[in-house]
Chain A
């Protein structure tokens, strides 16, 4: 069977079921689309064709043609369930949807996003791609177990996996009903109900050893109503390595710091009277922060954390000593 013949058959089956208002009987389908095939061959091909259409997302419905004779199944595709509803997008909305195709740095999800955008284009939406070169993909998902947890979350299938806890070396096998997947401080976590511990748990995907395995049937559990996966992850995951930084900054200096500040209080008293001072509160990760603050020279005074202030003083004192 060539690709072309099979494409024709699949598409003709789809059209046949789509344009009928009532269920179409198996006999009629066989007579028109599978002529000359044996009963066995027909059953096999028809099963496979239905599965392939369904895997594309075509909703094939099975029902009784005659409610009084239950032995005669029929098939149909309801146009309202088949087709993408009308979506009217403004130009700026279409632009951000174009950007979405550049977000995933994960082959399968990048392709799924592109396919979704193709379907929107097929609705007549003009998706603007002029600014796409500027966007670098940012959303990585390198963890080998990511795909399994993503699918399991979607299908509500329990997952079994081997896990090493932070700071330990022993591997243990865990059983989880995944509720959701969360990216937090640049890492992916899965949140769910641990059926061994009988409690909610969060696991870092990069600590999963080897392959995670689906262990159960789709829709085999419910996610508790109102579950907010991010807040569960925040509650259970170890705190990220960011800290509260308080700075005094001279009036009209430190613009890059001001842009990322959580709070700015103007006109506070500072370490000298040469200029006015403002107080900035920022949330920052530790790496490179001392370098950056030193770059501002005498325009920035570190109030806290104490160890950052100490690092600034130590490095400046060392610079004096080295003959700067």
Chain B
């Protein structure tokens, strides 16, 4: 706690922390100091200070037996085992009710998760909401604060939890996976290894039985994941560390050169490029390594008419065909 905090504020905050700490300990019996600090997100030394205040509190009367007991020897000194033991505080066994702001904030947050989520996620959120609403303080304005749709992250997080659990229990998973560069949906049987994140995306690292190789599956492209009863068939392995080198240069690539008008310059920020040569007319000549012709054609179509192929001729021809074929649908 910073010394600049006024006394009243400090005391009020400390009371709030103690009203949560005491029931937390009560519900779990003995808890290690570091575990309590992590679970309640309070620094361990602050927890010890809070516990010392508790020693001076208790039933009115001031007899020794009236006060709350904290085993400080277990937390400090040579005999310490780091376990918090608090007794004689049964009247604080339950936490304080949620105040209206807390109740409203969490209920609105859950409703935001619900909106826009898949049916199975909605069903879980609905159960949690029903229990929370029953327990919330009266006078919550939650029904009158409507967050709309906050995106589909809840689906992803629950999917991640499910896949990680399958990896931990070494069960195979059947994935329905979408590959945007080919606009294809495919079924894969995989041995999950774990969830990893890189570049702001979460991936399942798994041995893919269709590819007979390890593969990374972006979670937001997994349409369905069914955890099977079958155990994994490959040696269990820790998921890869994706600190760098996620998209290592594929061996089977073709160098290509494209021309980008100013409106399409953003491409060089988004995709790995080998070289960029600014042109007198403001456009850019860009060298890329292309693993798949279809990927390049899709990109050029999106950018049309602000991008074209300089070389090789085969890619220029593929793009020209795609433009002609699409245009022919309309004319």
Contact = CB atoms under 8 A, between A and B. Distances in A.
A35 to B, nearest CB: 10
Interface stretch (B100-108, B237-245, B285-293): B100-108
Interface string B119-147: 00100110110011011010111011111
B99 A10 contact: no
Contacts of B27: 122-124
B298 interface: yes
B105 A297 contact: no
Given A12-B60, A96-B128, A255 B105 contact: no
A268 interface: no
A115 interface: yes
B157 A132 contact: yes
B106 to A, nearest CB: 4
B219 interface: yes
Interface in B222-244: 223
B95 A123 contact: yes
Nearest to A24: B60
Contact of B158 (A4, A48, A95, A316): A95
Given A123-B27, A183-B148, A255 B158 contact: no
A16 B60 contact: yes
Size category of the binding interface on chain B:
35 or more
Contacts of A48: 8
B95 A180 contact: no
Contacts of B139: 154
A186 B112 CA distance: 12
Contacts of A55: 12
Interface string B83-107: 0000000011011111111111110
Contact of B137 (A57, A150, A259, A321): A57
Contacts, number: 335
Given A109-B101, A320-B324, 5 more contacts: A104-B105, A115-B102, A131-B161, A135-B153, A150-B104
17 contacts: A2-B7, A4-B53, A11-B57, A56-B99, A57-B98, A84-B94, A85-B134, A93-B131, A103-B109, A121-B20, A123-B94, A185-B148, A271-B330, A295-B298, A295-B301, A315-B305, A324-B300
Interface of A: 1-4, 6-8, 10-12, 14-16, 18-19, 32-33, 48, 52-53, 55-59, 79, 81-85, 87-90, 92-97, 99-104, 109-110, 112-124, 128, 130-136, 138-139, 150, 153-154, 179-186, 223, 227, 229-230, 233, 253-256, 259, 271-272, 291-292, 294-299, 301, 309, 312-313, 315-324
Interface of B: 1, 7-8, 10-12, 14-16, 18-21, 23-24, 27-28, 39-41, 49, 52-54, 56-62, 91-92, 94-106, 108-110, 112-113, 121, 124-125, 127-128, 131-132, 134-135, 137, 139-141, 143-148, 150-151, 153-154, 156-158, 160-161, 164, 178, 180, 183-185, 195, 197, 202, 219, 223, 297-305, 308-309, 316, 319-320, 322-331
